[in-house]
Amino acid sequence: MQDNMLRRLFILAFILLHVAAYAQTEKEIIDMVGKASAEMQSLECDFVQTKHLKILNDKMVSKGKMYYMQPGRLRWEYTSPYTYTFILNDSQVLLKNSTRSDVIDVNQNRIFKEIARLMMNSILGNCLTDEKSFQTDIETKGQEWIATLVPLKKDMKQMWTKLVLHYDSVKKSVVMVEMHEKTGDYTEIRLDNIKINRQIAESTFSIQ
Residue 171: per-residue pLDDT = 61
158-202 tens-digit pLDDT: 888 998 878 766 666 677 888 899 889 998 989 899 888 899 999
Spell out the per-residue pLDDT of the chain, length 208, in tens: 455 655 666 666 666 655 555 555 767 766 666 676 677 788 899 999 999 998 887 899 999 998 988 877 888 899 999 999 988 888 888 889 888 998 988 788 777 666 666 655 554 455 556 677 778 787 777 777 787 888 888 877 888 899 887 876 666 667 788 889 988 999 898 989 988 889 999 999 998 7
Domain that holds residue 76: 2-205
Q: What is the CATH number of the domain that holds 149?
A: 2.50.20.10
Parallel, antiparallel, or unpaired for β 101-105 and 134-141? unpaired
Q: For residue 57, give Cα distances in angstroms to 4, 27, 37, 40, 185.
A: 20, 40, 38, 39, 10
pTM of the model: 0.78
Beta bridge mates, 180: 162, 186
Task: Please tell me the total count of domains within the chain.
Answer: 1
The number of residues in the chain equals 208
**Looking at the DSSP assignment, which residues form a beta bridge with residue 166?**
146, 176
Report how far residue 133's alpha carbon sits from residue 93's, in angstroms, rounded to the nearest whole number: 23
Pair 136, 148: CB distance under 8 Å: yes
Q: Which of 207, 199, 174, 170 is nearest to 188 (CA)?
A: 174
Say which DSSP state 73 is in.
E
End-to-end Cα separation, the chain, in angstroms: 19
